[in-house]
A and B are shown apart, each in its own frame.
Chain A
Amino acid sequence: MIEEQTIIAVMPETLVAETRKMKEQGYRLVQICVTRLGEELQLDYTFDLNRKFVNFRFLQPKNGARVPSISSLYWCAFTYENEISDLFGVQVDGNALDFKGTFYKTAMKHPFIQDAAPAVVPAPAKAGGQ
């Protein structure tokens, strides 16, 4: 085992309060990650202090996920929150720098929660050289 990784379950309502405690202790925000588990989304907020790893985790439904923003405490969270709202359709309330869906320019909206890719017709192979 390379390092001990603490995973703490939180509720979306207590997320901002727990994050404030982390900030007061001097933790830095490492990442915000979303995983699709069937019909639910698992959100992970990771913090680090001198290689001590703490992770907050909670679940949200796939359609209509809503989380409060932590960018008032950690301004750098705006990149992660834009990414999760663009790729997973998670609605983030109060993002300090909200790109309103234009952070990633993708062919379809919220690609990571779609079930199947649109059918792609393969281009006909060219015969011989030109």
Chain B
Amino acid sequence: MGNRTIIPFGPQHPVLPEPIHIDLVVEDEKVVEAVPSIGFIHRGLEKLTEKKDFIEYVYVAERICGICSFIHGQTYCQGIEEIMKIEIPSRAKYLRTIWGELSRIHSHLLWLGLMADAFGFESLFMHSWRVREEVLNLIEATTGGRVIFGSCKVGGTRRDIPPEQMTWLLAELTKIEKEMRLIVDIFLNDNSVKHRLCGVGVISKDDAIALGAVGPTLRASGVADDMRLLKYAAFGELNFQPIVRNEGDSYGRCAVRCEELFQSVDLIRQAAAKMPAGEIAVKVTGNPDGEFFSRVEQPRGEVVYYIKGNGTKNLTRFRARTPTFANVPPLVKMLAGCELADVPVLVLTIDPCISCTER
């Protein structure tokens, strides 16, 4: 039995996009136990419902996280619309779907870059983010903001994508798809990348369900669970099947995200072809009275919002359970028994978005 030392990982670390602290109990370069510690970026956003009325709160909900910002706004608006029994126009549903999938593409490209950085492949990191810049330009042209879209509101969307802009968007998307294929080819086929990813952090199918994993972490272990199958927004009319892999290791999680990139491009094309003309928003009167659990698929997994209103313009309760919060127990289980050099790869493989986790 070797000597046990405790090595602190984070909150400042070059691979971490956001601060999380993990105490690693290490025995001669092998991690025996990991104790997570969060709370560095807790802003108490759930308590802000006491001050901001439910229409203004969209702006707060969007700013819970920078990477998954649009889908937070969409989940919130969807929850309020279900409580108040508002039916939004079909065009608004398609627009939200298109922006949601664009958001997923940029988030996965960001993750691919960070993953390459985690095992030291800086030039691949730069190339992934270069392609992501093209996607951000698309988003800026259609919504006005690169990261915070600001285009979702209760009752529909605030902006429209006119047909000429849509044709331009699809043309740009074809160019971006070609670039993405080059990058994904390196991630999935290069020998040195595979050496760092294969067999690292294996979670079996039963473990994944028992530990409450969500999103690509769950789908890479063979469970076909994706909240887009709930057919919210326009997903009921699109052809969609979740992407599942059976490896259960970091390579499987990387492959799920890579394949989801192309699936999102395909979903945007389908939605653009089927989008009907019409209004983009309906007028909202009254206050929410009731409760609803709004569930949407974020790039990182399933996000659950519990929204409760009591007839006044301030909500009684707004609770966001984000996917990274649910993925922390699988991370702790994965870290036990791994090598010290694999710790950054494992922390990044669940796609940590700590500002989401701690709101």
Contact = CB atoms under 8 A, between A and B. Distances in A.
Asked if A and B touch directly (CB within 8 angstroms), the answer is yes
Interface of A: 1-3, 5, 26, 28-31, 33, 35-37, 44, 46, 50-51, 53, 55, 74-79, 97, 99, 102-106, 111-112
B82 interface: yes
Contacts of A76: 210-212, 326, 329-330
A37 B8 CA distance: 40
A36 B44 CA distance: 15
A77 B328 CA distance: 11
A33 B210 contact: no
A75 B46 CA distance: 25
Given A3-B295, A44-B306, A112-B47, A75 B211 contact: yes
A63 B278 CA distance: 52
Contact of A26 (B40, B209, B317): B209
B335 interface: no
Contacts, number: 82
Nearest to B85: A1
Contacts of B306: 31, 33, 35, 44
B64 to A, nearest CB: 16
A28 B293 contact: no
A37 B328 CA distance: 29
B88 to A, nearest CB: 12
Nearest to B327: A76
B9 interface: no
B230 interface: yes
B38 interface: yes
Interface string B70-101: 00000000100010000000000000000000
B304 interface: yes
A103 B47 contact: no
B293 A55 contact: yes
A105 B39 contact: yes
A52 to B, nearest CB: 11
B181 interface: no
Interface of B: 35, 37-40, 42, 44, 46-47, 78, 82, 209-212, 225, 227, 229-232, 292-293, 295, 302, 304, 306, 308, 316-317, 319, 321, 325-326, 328-330, 358
A29 B214 CA distance: 10
B349 to A, nearest CB: 17
Given A2-B82, A31-B304, A74-B212, A79 B325 contact: yes
Given A2-B82, A46-B304, A79-B325, A28 B212 contact: yes
A73 B304 CA distance: 22
Contacts of B39: 103-106
B232 A111 contact: no
B38 A103 contact: yes
8 contacts: A3-B295, A28-B210, A35-B306, A76-B210, A76-B212, A76-B326, A77-B212, A79-B328
Nearest to B208: A28
Residue from the set A36, A50, A79, A105 with the largest chain B CB neighbour count within 10 Å: A79
Given A3-B295, A35-B306, A79-B328, A104 B38 contact: yes
Contacts of B317: 35-36
A20 to B, nearest CB: 13
| Top 6 A-B pairs, shortest CB-CB distance | A76-B212, A76-B329, A31-B321, A35-B317, A104-B39, A105-B39
A30 B302 contact: yes
Nearest to A106: B42
A74 B44 CA distance: 27
Given A46-B293, A51-B225, A79-B328, 15 more contacts: A3-B230, A3-B295, A26-B209, A28-B209, A28-B212, A30-B212, A31-B306, A31-B319, A31-B321, A33-B306, A35-B316, A35-B319, A99-B37, A105-B39, A106-B44
